[in-house]
Amino acid sequence: MTRDAAPPAVEMRGITKRFGEVVANAGVDFAARSGEVHALVGENGAGKSTLMSVLTGLYRPDTGTVAIDGRPVRFRSPRDAIDAGIGMVHQHFTLVDSLTVAENVLLGRQGQGFRLDTSTVERELDALGERHGLRVDPRARIWQLSVGEQQRVEILRVLHRGARILILDEPTAVLTPREAAGLAAALRGLADEGLCVVFISHKLDEVLALADQVTVLRRGRSVGTVDAAATDRRSLARLMVGRELLPEDRRLTPTAGTPARETVLEVVGLRAEGDRGRPALDGVDLRVGAGESLGIAGVAGNGQRELAEVVTGLRRATAGRVVIGGQDLTNRSPRAVAAAGVAHIPEDRLATGLVGGLDLAANAILRGYRVRPLTRGPLLAGRAIARFTDRLLDANDVQAPGRSTPAGRLSGGNQQKLLLGRELDGRPRLVVAVHPARGVDVGATETIHRLLREQRAAGAATLLISEDLDELLALSDRIAVLFEGRVVGEVESATADHEQLGLLMAGVTGQPGTERAGFDGVPIGLAADG
Amino acid sequence: MASAIPSPRLERRAAPSAVASAVVPFVAVALALVAGGIVLWAAGEPPVAVYRAMLDGAVGSRDGVAETLVKTIPLLLAGLGVAVAFRMRLWNIGAEGQLYLGAVAASGTALYVLPDAPAAVLIPAMILAGMAGGAVWAAVPALLRARLQVNEIITSLMLNYVAILFAEYLVHGPWRDPVGFGFPGTPRFPDAAELPQWGTTRVHLGLAFGLAAAGILWLVLGRTRWGYEIAVAGTNARAARYAGLPTARNILLVMALSGALAGLAGMSEVAGIGHQLQRSFSPGYGYTAIIVAWVGRLHPGGVALVAFLLAGLLVGGDALQMELGLPAAVAPMLQGAILFFLLGGEALARYRVTWRRPTPIPGGPAPVVEPG
């Protein structure tokens, strides 16, 4: 560590960033040096992306300082950050599909004449790709490239602009294991050439395999920076989840002495593909009984969303079965699933569960508009709809100026209460709730949790998907942990401990031979160019 | 550094501003008149006098009003058709072709299927045939969209040319009037096929079709389950899927209805005005209908109002040509300018211009405004 004398390539001190009442970063310190690969880990909402957005000039911090190579900087825009040698590779690529690689690299560059000089850039990209093991044909159009190649284009673009500090947001999330191994080798090579490489990740195995230093964020604060060589998965997981869990007296206690419950939801060997056609569910088995609540924990992107969508009929299963109340509903329409008594509180209320541009009455009747008394023949029964809407708003504590307000105008909490009220109306047999209290205030959270507990008490089965462990512990009898599309473990809420859950969420099952490494065991040094 | 200077940017509003939404069409028309005035002035014509002549031609006399009403009929019917499709975000720009197919089907009925039927049979038959012709033509892009996700904008547009050329083939070929002195057109319809006209004017029963269609559509869209499904699917397609609405079926039904209304416009043109099928009997009513629907805010009442206004613009444009010797292109120019300013104005209803740097919200949609 001879470079210790030089100032760090990046030094962020006391970064605080608020969004309304949410404190995304609370006095975060972060430093990374040239020549090292530095991993930034933490649960969802720990503040990783916000911190990197501050570093790349997307956000301005409320307080705190940023220094690059020891010189204080104040970025007013991403352009300033680029000029200072900072390059970011986002999880969602920002390439223009119909243009070539070279044209994409030239996009947004200043000082270009009317005619694009692509041939020079093509030569330069060839040379850069050769040198860093990031080969891609500069003349190819983006749509012709695989996801892994597109990512290489993103990296090359940043390098071509002369970046000395390279930031990658969950770079392996979209890659196959082989591509991930190729990326790992390339990043190591870049660090060896003196670049500072920072990457955000959830996968502890990958972090340990690739990073020199690891900084852990938890709830908007930096918990610490550790030497990757001197730590292990267990201690990293502890740092990540390490807060005190919900006290046991506030956890859900299983209804005492209940005999074997009638099975409401049974999922057997379920497989499904994600949006990009990669396997998202890889043989999931679950069982939820009447009056029972099963929580699904896991780091985002391990198949939770797909699980909810397949169960509710919004996504096709490629294998396996979904049986609800004894009825096989695999790959049936969302309408058939709803008709079987399934309530669905989707992940994204305004994009999926509500129609923001229509009024509250129109939203209230979304499930029930086909049946009496809300409908008479082909006509909607205006008065019955008004009464129904008022009752729904009232019973679920939705604060709204009136039923003709567009749903999109309500606050997040009130939107969610409206959505829950509608879905839970009429005694559902199964409630599928995804992040039911995400982004809502404390009062609304309490109402939402109360409504879900009432359903359980009334005998409904609940499948609760959440990234908030406290929420899971407070509302579920059991918690199953999803990792890379599989259930890697199931624990009783009453006896769950944080270390156990944290390790499961990181994919560490503790049984030798069953662990699933982030790189699927491909040795980094030997990794071929994917 | 350039970024230190505040620059105007568009910031999305949480909900479209109600005031802006209401004012935009009027401002758009006013700005279009100003822009058109600049063009007229540059061409050496006094804008005010030209506009006065247009107004006079369109609504300044009994005959002018009558002609404006005559041209309102196809614009209203086709405009309603376009509006119902646009409500579900089905971009049917094939109203022109659907109108032609409706006219072809109605003409065939009058000339070859029921040439000897009395009016009480023939006219309803022509209405049904015209609506069916338009509906079938619109069902082609609808099926492609519902089953194969083919973009209906392209297919519906392309089918316009097919329909227009098909009608042309008929009037030049198999349906050509043998005693037509070489004019491309079918023989004249039997008298029973003529829609009754109002007094000595050319205003015909088609106006009643249009007003009835507007009324029925208003009820269907606002009061029925089906109208509700269209509103949900047109506002949030994901929510429609989530709630299990029959989207594929509704795509077909809505497009068919859209085409049927355009087809009825075509039927009423040949049965009410032409009394035969002629080549290019429509001066692009199906395209102007898009402007009618959009400026009318996709609302049946608005569509009726705008159809009348744009019809007046067409009639006024014709008057310019006849009385001042100006090119008839003045009217389409103003139409184009109105749509242009309207679309620009829509942006201001949905976005606001700020000179500040907006505060980004991480990963979230537009900031939610608390009610009240």
- Summarised one tens digit per residue, pLDDT across range A127-159 is 988 888 888 888 888 888 887 888 899 999 999
Strand order in A165-169's β-sheet?
A86-89, A165-169, A196-201, A37-41, A213-218, A221-227
Q: Cβ(A48)–Cβ(A145) under 8 Å?
A: no
Phi/psi for B137 (5° steps) reads: -65, -40
**Chain A residues lying within 8 Å of B248, measured CB to CB:** none
In tens, the pLDDT along A23-76 reads 788 889 999 999 999 999 887 667 888 899 899 988 889 999 999 998 999 988
- How open is the CA angle B286-B288-B294, to the nearest 5 degrees? 110
Q: Match 């049936």 to its residue by tokens.
A: A332
Chain B, nearest residue to A353 by Cα:
B239
φ/ψ region of B80 (left if φ > 0, alpha if ψ in -120 to 50, else beta) reads: alpha
The answer on pLDDT for B10 being more than 60 is yes
Q: Chain A residue closest to B372 (CA)? A: A401
Nearest-by-CA chain A residue for B16: A357
B236 and A354: CB-CB below 8 Å? Answer: yes
Residue B89: name the closest of B128, B46, B145 by CA. Answer: B145
Contact across the interface for B243 and A334, Cβ inside 8 Å: yes
pLDDT reported for residue A481: 92
Instruction: Specify the CATH number of the domain B75-324.
Output: 1.10.3470
Render A283-351 in DSSP notation, one character per residue: EEEEEEETT-EEEEE--TTSSHHHHHHHHTTSS-EEEEEEEETTEE-TT--HHHHHHTTEEEE-SSIII
- On the question of pLDDT at A345 being above 90, the answer is yes
- Between A165-174, A250-259, B219-228, B343-352, the lowest mean confidence (pLDDT) is in A250-259
Whether B371 sits inside 8 A of A409 (CB atoms) is yes
Element (H or E) spanning A17, and its range? strand A10-19
Question: What is the rounded distance in angstroms from the CA atom of residue A424 to the CA atom of residue A432?
Answer: 10
The answer to whether the CB of B82 falls within 8 A of the CB of B96 is no
Q: Which of A450-454, B176-180, B296-300, B306-310 has the lowest mean pLDDT?
A: B176-180
SS3 A136: coil
pLDDT band at A253 (very low <50, low <70, confident <90, very high): low
Instruction: Using a CB–CB cutoff of 8 Å, tell me whether B241 touches chain A.
Output: yes
Please report the pLDDT score of residue B11 as a whole number. 65
Burial A49-85 (b: 16+ CB within 10 A, else e): bbbbbbbbbbbebeebebbbbeeebebebbebbbebb
Q: Is B356 on the interface with A (CB under 8 A)?
A: no
A91, burial (CB in 10 Å: exposed 0-12, middle 13-18, buried 19+): middle
Average pLDDT over residues B88-96: 95
CA distance A491 to chain B (A): 31
With a cut of 80, say whether residue B121 has pLDDT above it: yes
pLDDT of residue A526: 36
Contact assessment for residue A480 and residue A302, using Cβ atoms and an 8 Å cutoff: no
Give residue A516's pLDDT.
39
ipTM of this complex > 0.85?
Answer: no
How many Å lie between the alpha carbon of B227 and the closest alpha carbon of chain A?
Answer: 9
Instruction: Report the pLDDT value the prediction gives residue B88, as an integer from 0 to 100.
Output: 94
- Lowest mean per-residue pLDDT among A136-150, A236-250, A284-298, A515-529: A515-529
Query: Contact A141/A100 with Cβ under 8 angstroms?
Result: yes
Q: Could you identify the residue written with the tokens 């119902």?
A: B84
Domain boundaries, chain A: 2-245, 248-341+428-496, 353-427
pLDDT-derived band at B199 (thresholds 50, 70, 90) equals confident
Inspect the interface and report whether the beta carbons of A59 and B360 lie closer than 8 Å. Answer: yes
At A530, the pLDDT band (50, 70, 90 cuts) reads very low
Which 3-state string (H, E, C) describes A217-274?
A: EECCEEEEEEEHHHCCHHHHHHHHHCCCCCCHHHCCCCCCCCCCCCEEEEEEEEEEEC
pLDDT at residue A286, as a whole number: 94
pLDDT interval class at B336 (50, 70, 90)? confident
> SS3 of A464, please?
strand
Closest CA relative to residue B341, chosen from B39, B28, B98: B28
Least confident range of A284-298, B8-22, B247-261, B307-321 = B8-22
pLDDT score recorded for residue B271: 95
Name residue A354's amino acid. L
| Residue B182 contacts A, CB cutoff 8 Å | no
The answer, yes or no, to whether residue B173 has pLDDT greater than 80, is: yes
Rg of the Cα atoms in chain B: 23
pLDDT of residue B98: 97
pLDDT at res. B8: 65
What does DSSP assign to residue A519? Answer: T
How many Å apart are CA A498 and CA B328, to the nearest integer? 79
The proportion of chain A whose per-residue pLDDT surpasses 90, expressed as a percent, equals 35
Taking alpha carbons only, the member of B118, B109, B70 closest to residue B263 is B109
The upper half-sphere exposure of residue B5, i.e. CA atoms within 13 Å in the direction of its Cβ, equals: 4
Q: What residues of chain A lie within 8 A of the CB of B223, using their CB? A: 379-380, 382
Residue B50 and residue B36: Cα distance in Å, rounded?
10
Q: Which of B4, B232, B359 sits opposite A358 (nearest CB)?
A: B232
**Would the CB atoms of B371 and A336 count as touching at under 8 Å?**
no
Distance from CA of B81 to the nearest CA of A (A): 21
Cβ atoms of residues A51 and A224 within 8 Å: no
Query: Which of the four pLDDT bands, split at 50, 70 and 90, describes residue B364?
Result: very low
Report CB contact under 8 Å: A357, B14: no
Omega before A373 cis (within 30°)?
Answer: yes
Task: Pick A366's closest partner by Cβ from B3, B232, B361.
Answer: B232
Let me know: does A124 contact A156? Beta carbons within 8 Å: no
pLDDT of residue A519: 38
Q: Where are the alpha helices (DSSP H) in B60-184?
A: 62-87, 95-108, 119-148, 152-172
pLDDT, tens only, A110-123: 665 666 678 888 88
**Encoding tokens for residue B130?**
């015209």
- Neighboring chain B residues of A334 at a CB cutoff of 8 Å: 241-244
- Helix H, strand E, coil C: the string for A57-72 is CCCCCCEEEEEECCEE
- Report the C-alpha gap between B317 and B314 in whole angstroms: 5
Q: Which of B:283-342 have CB within 8 Å of A?
A: none
| pLDDT band, residue A525 (cuts 50/70/90) | very low
| Bridging pattern class, strands A486-492 and A478-483 | antiparallel
Query: What residues 65-94 of chain B have any CB closer than 8 A to a CB of chain A?
Result: none
The reported pLDDT for the residue numbered A5 is 66
Q: A365 has which bridge partners?
A: none
- pLDDT mean over B228-253: 93
Q: Tell if the CB–CB gap between B3 and A77 is shorter than 8 Å.
A: yes
Predicted confidence band of residue B356 (pLDDT cuts 50, 70, 90): low
The secondary structure of chain B in percent helix, strand, coil, rounded to multiples of 5, reads 70, 5, 25
CB within 8 Å: A366 and B243:
yes
Residue B158 has pLDDT above 80, yes or no: yes
pLDDT at residue B187 is higher than 70? yes
Between chain A and chain B, the number of residue pairs with CB atoms below 8 A apart is 108
> Which fold is adopted by the domain A248-341+428-496?
Rossmann fold (3.40.50)
Task: Tell me how far apart the alpha carbons of residues A279 and A256 are, in angstroms, rounded to a whole number.
Answer: 39
Which tokens belong to B315? Answer: 């009639």
Residues of B in contact with A400 (CB under 8 A): 371
- Distance CA(A195)–CA(A33), nearest Å, equals 8
Chain A CA closest to residue B224: A379
Identify the H or E element spanning A432. strand A430-434
In the predicted model, is pLDDT for residue B352 greater than 80? no
CB atoms near residue A425 (< 10 Å):
17
In this structure, how many other beta carbons lie within 10 angstroms of the beta carbon of residue B357? 14
Nearest C-alpha of chain A: how many angstroms from B30? Answer: 29
- Chain B residues close to A333, C-beta within 8 Å: 244
Superfamily, domain A2-245 = P-loop containing nucleotide triphosphate hydrolases (3.40.50.300)
The separation between CA A112 and the C-alpha centre of its own chain, rounded to angstroms, equals 38
Q: What confidence tens digit (pLDDT) does each residue in B25-76 have?
A: 788 888 888 998 898 888 888 888 888 888 898 888 899 999 999 999 999 9
Spatial CA neighbour of A316 closest among B57, B241, B329: B241
**Would you state the pLDDT for residue B372?**
33
In the predicted structure, residue B362 carries a pLDDT above the cut 70: no
Asked if the domains A2-245 and A248-341+428-496 are classified in one and the same CATH topology, the answer is yes
* Domain chopping of chain B, boundaries: 75-324
* Average of per-residue pLDDT values in chain B: 87
Is residue B66 within 8 A of residue B57, CB to CB? The reply is no
Contacts of residue B5, defined as CB under 8 A and 6 or more positions apart, other chains included, come to none
pLDDT band at A259; cut points 50, 70, 90? low
Nearest-CB residue to B244 (from A334, A399, A439)? A334
Which chain B residue lies closest to A23 (C-alpha atoms)?
Answer: B362
Chain B positions in Cβ-Cβ contact with residue A76 (cut-off 8 Å): 1, 3-4
Confidence check: pLDDT of B266 > 90: yes
Is the pLDDT confidence value at B5 over 60? no
Check pLDDT > 50 for residue A517.
no
Among A46-55, A101-110, B334-343, B359-368, name the one with the lowest average pLDDT. B359-368
**Stronger pLDDT, B323 or A283, i.e. the higher one:** A283
Q: Give, in order, the Cα–Cα distances in Å from A158 to each of A34, A166, A391.
A: 16, 8, 56
Tens of pLDDT, residue by residue over A260-282, are: 578 899 999 999 998 877 788 99
- Interface contact B235-A24, CB threshold 8 A: no
Which one is predicted more confidently, B371 or A53? A53
Q: Which of B236, B243, B363 has the CB atom closest to A367's CB atom?
A: B243
Contact A63, A55 (CB under 8 A): no
Q: What pLDDT is attached to residue A515?
A: 38
Most confident listed range (A291-300, A322-331, B40-49, B319-328): A322-331
Task: Please tell me which residue, A110 or A126, carries the higher pLDDT value.
Answer: A126
- The answer to whether B226 faces chain A, any CB pair under 8 Å, is yes
Which stretch of A290-299, A317-326, A440-449, B246-255 has the lowest confidence by average pLDDT?
Answer: A440-449
pLDDT at B33: 87
pLDDT at B301 over 70: yes
Cross-chain residue pair B224–A333, CB shorter than 8 Å? no
